[in-house]
Structures are given as C-alpha cells and as structure tokens.
Amino acid sequence: VEETVARQALVAAGARLRSAGLIAGTEGNLSLRLDGGSLLITPSGRRKDELGPGDLVVVGLENQAAGGSEGNPSSDVAIHRRIYSARDDVSAIAHAHPPASLAMTLAGERPDPAVLPETAMLLPRLPFVALATPGSAELAQAVATSLAAGASGEELPVAVLLERHGAIAVGSSIDEAVDRLELVEVLCRAWWDARMLGWAPTPAPSKAGPQY
Ligand SMILES: [Zn+2]
C-alpha cells in the first residue's frame, strides 16, 4: 500500500475500533504493510480514535536497533513483524482487547466459529494462543505460528484469540482486518449470551481449559 493512502486508512480504522466498542483508553494497535519492505503502525500510548495521519510510525519489517528514527511504535510491534514475515498474503493487522473476547478466555471457553453460519464461512478457524508477556518475542512467535499453521489444503486462520489479552485479525486491507476483529467479538458475545441462557456446545469444553 502507498504510504499516504495507508496513513488515511489507519486513521479511519482507529475510529472504527472505537465506534465498535473494541478499544478503551489507549488499547489496541493497527498496521499496514507498505511498498518497499516496511510497515506503518499506530504509536504507543495514544488513543487510536484520536490519531492524525502524521502520528503513525514507519518501521522496518525486520527488527531494528532501538534509538533509531522509528518514533514510538506500538509495544506490540514484534507481533506485527512476525505475522508479516510468516504470512505473505497478509497486508494489514488489527489488534484489540474486546470485552467478550477477554471474558471467553478468562472463563476458559473456546468459542468455535463453526456454530454460526456466518462465522463458519468468514472465520475458518479461531486458534487460541496461551498467555505470554505482552510485547515479548515469545508471544509474537506463538501468534505467528498459530496464524501460519494448518493441514495442507486447509484454509489458514484469519484471526486468533489471545488468552486474557483479546484478539488479533489479519486481512488484505485494514478494513477487512477490522471486520474480522468485529466478527470475533460478535462470536464471543453470542457464545457467551447462549451459554448464559443454558446452551452448551457439543462436545462440552474441557474443564481443564484451553488445550491447543
Ligand atoms: Zn494488546
């Protein structure tokens, strides 16, 4: 994506995250793969619904030494870099801490997109990533591995749930990534509401909590 267009797209996507109730405070981050081997990412410590095009930060796709001219990129920049290097088809990434997604993993539930026709179609699978320190290389590696894993012929995941941390969605555009993040939250909310009304998934979720 060309940089001027990318800056406008990320500003608009930040407003979408807020209006959809997917972020609070300075939570969340967004990025786009730029032409020429770099990426544009939201800054750390700022509300994502109050950014201007000049607030976004260009960083290399590979790790670079601290103290360079990289500004103040999101503390989750390692996750973004790892995903782009693991998935050539991904051009955009959206991450947030949506409330129902947080509740699901706190409660040890593993919502299955196959239970609703729309999520079955649009979220082929929803992998689960165990708790790891935010910003760590370990978490970045686990997310990238889960997004790139699949049997041959199986569609790759377009979103993952992070234990006690929210969700990450990827796409060919930032709007597609935000759409998928919204869909993850819809699935988690519907799953939660149905569970409160007495529904139980079959087979029942493991009492031991997340396994894979
Ligand atoms: Zn986060």
Each residue of 27-57: pLDDT tens digit? 999 999 999 889 999 999 999 999 999 999 9
The DSSP code sequence of the chain is: --HHHHHHHHHHHHHHHHHTT---TT--EEEEEETTTEEEEPBTTS-TTS--GGG-EEEESS---TTSS---B-TTHHHHHHHHHH-TT--EEEEE--HHHHHHHHTT----GGGSHHHHHH-S---EE----TT-HHHHHHHHHHHH---TTSPPPSEEEETTTEEEEEESSHHHHHHHHHHHHHHHHHHHHHHHTT---SSPPPTT----
* Interval between CA 157 and ligand 1 midpoint (Å): 19
* Interval between CA 175 and ligand 1 midpoint (Å): 19
* Interval between CA 168 and ligand 1 midpoint (Å): 9
* Interval between CA 79 and ligand 1 midpoint (Å): 10
pLDDT band at 133 (very low <50, low <70, confident <90, very high): very high
* Interval between CA 169 and ligand 1 midpoint (Å): 12
Predicted TM-score (pTM) of the model is 0.91
